[in-house]
A and B are shown apart, each in its own frame.
Chain A
Amino acid sequence: MLHTNNKIEYNPENCVGCQLCYKACFIDVIRWDAEKKQPIFKYVDECAHCRYCQAMCKKGCINVIIDYSAQSWRQSFDMYR
């Protein structure tokens, strides 16, 4: 998950500032803006699309959009075909 191109859609309308999305991110992609009481999606280019933030959000504010084509297991498939 190095050169991913995933996106995180965030709809602040229903956000209650519970911080669960921030806590859920186990690789520090999401930070917390204490003043606005909202998440900051600071390092999205590192998002490994585990979707734990999305699962945690009780208000449905988050949608992780996965770019499957950007991923690679780095197996040299073409070498064998």
Chain B
Amino acid sequence: MRKDISRSIGKVDNREKSSGSAEYINDRSWEGEVHYALTLRSSIVKGKIINITFPSAREDVHIVDYRDVPGKNFVSILEDDWPVFAEDRVSYLGEPILLLCGPDRTVLEEYRSRIVVDYEEESPFLTLQDAVEKSDPIVSYTIDTGDYAGASEKAARTVKETFETGRQEQVYIEPQGVVAEYTEEGVVLTGSFQCPYYVKNAVINTLGWSGEKVRVIQAVTGGAFGGKEEFPSLISCQVAVASVKLKKTIKLIYNRHEDMEVTTKRHPSLISYEAALDGDNRILGVKMDVKLDGGATTGLSAVVLQRAMIASCGVYHFPAVLATGGVYLTNTVPSGAFRGFGAPQTFFAIEMFMNHLAAKVGEDPVAFKTKHLAKKGDATSTGGIYRDDILMAQMIEEVKKMSGYAEKYRLYSEKGNPRGIGMSLFLHGCGFTGSGEADHIKAKVYLERDEEGRVHILVSNVDMGQGFKTTMMKVVAHSLDIPLDQVVFNNPDTKYVPDSGPTVASRSTMIVGRLLVEACEKLQKETGPARVEANYSQPDYIKWDQDKMKGDAYPAFSWGVNVVEVEVDRDTWETTLLGAWSVHDVGKAIDDRIIRGQVDGGFLQGIGYGLWEKMELKEGRVQQATVTDYIIATASDFVTVENKLIDNPYALGPFGAKGAGELTLIGGAPAVAAAVEQALGAEVYRIPLVPEYLMELKKNG
């Protein structure tokens, strides 16, 4: 008899990770002569490059710049505005201008220090506020569902608030790194990647080569959090160009400082909400506006903005929604993918807004939120339908029991109490937005049985510490009813695996896992060695109009509730965590402990976003560019999370599973912010809630 799939097994990569034998990209050795690459970067924020003066040429230093790009000098993402190498102008501090390649890194460093670049500086936009005042958004959308103008007219009162969120840095285990090998068949790129096919397509575009000459292999990847979604395409294009020019193996590894200064961050945001309330304090509609700081390039910002706007209603159903949003470019380090992808910004804002509204109308925040919860059959923010059961009311009751929320909330409401407790409610749409899966990704998986009867998983999604290998191996082993050690899942190599899409958007388990289940069904009909494939097809009922942002934005939603308890020191304004509780609906956990890993890590990363992780720029330069100064929590800052999973199987997910990768981060910031508000007795409108801000907030009333 088959066991419950959720029962935890040891992760298949436990041994290599805990023994230290796992070889990350910088640990690998390479055949033949290796040339290292160092990047020459813009030392100004914005301007024209007038002239570059090099020290006298050396045989062991090679320069690779935009003139060496055989194809297009752009990283292929959404828009062609991210140069592989700057040509005649730079638009942010640290923008790559050229690579220096050679066998000795010390020589390269010394050579780089003597290069002089003359610029003609131009006046930059250094902040989002600056760009909003003086420029137009490079992309904007509107969601118009119901009739907000009508709701506002009927309203007994309207309330408006604005919120602000800052940058966040991923701080993955190993900094960015990629190696390009030049071979007779073409160029082979190995690196720390989330999306091997993004890298492949970007390199094809930049080299102007055909696909079969570009091969991409994922090295062991120790965490990515979105930071290895699009950025690796940039450096892969650079080393590919260098490798082709010099016909050498080129190795580019960032150190932590460089990584923190120049790689993509979470988008800073300005979010405003207006609610129209009727005489019974029910929300008739909301109007929201999101402005995102895209940094110096468009990158993935348009899609991030879509997520931020689609999340406008939080977990609630409002009869009318009018959401507008825009991405503004500033002369700062590019913003990019980060776990949550626009949703954490909006959820901070909507959850705080709901708390504040409850306070204004004199209701308990959880009771106020509960009466606005979306239910099965309700319309989503984009006029789609919540098709599946929503268990939020039950989940709220559960978390209340676990945390003693009601009693603590009452106790801490007494004036002058240094403690506070806060609850956040959140969801995350699983998979690509709208018809992205069907129109753009078109995921394909292979499953292959070899002569010894072992079954090979051939997909392009990666394990980056989250447990994807173990999860998929369990899915296949259970589907075929074979032992786990009969299943093989090697790191993706585009020479062998089809494009099953990127490892992003909480899609891998739900979408790719489901395709593997289908492939298993096909394989069971075959005997002996065989290869089967499965291709994604979108459920017929999913309809999405991208231009109007109308319809079903996601096929399924995962849900969560967080409670955080804190104490704020009135002398130092430091916030100490006292407790953290969560309940999640991820459909069905393929492995309880792996989901537990997502919960612990995501919750802490979300709390960090709300509480500690401050990254500010001064004259375009990242001020907290070391792990010393950028405050991610240590184990001694966190508490043990008490978590509960509620089964709510999704018909189209493998064994009922939905996405879980991003969900667990989203509620951390609003929960801790609500707790801090209670402890402080003051309303907060921006994160992170560093002690300096709390002191200022309390001082200025």
Answer yes or no: are A and B bound together in one complex: no
Chain B residues with a Cβ under 8 A of chain A: none
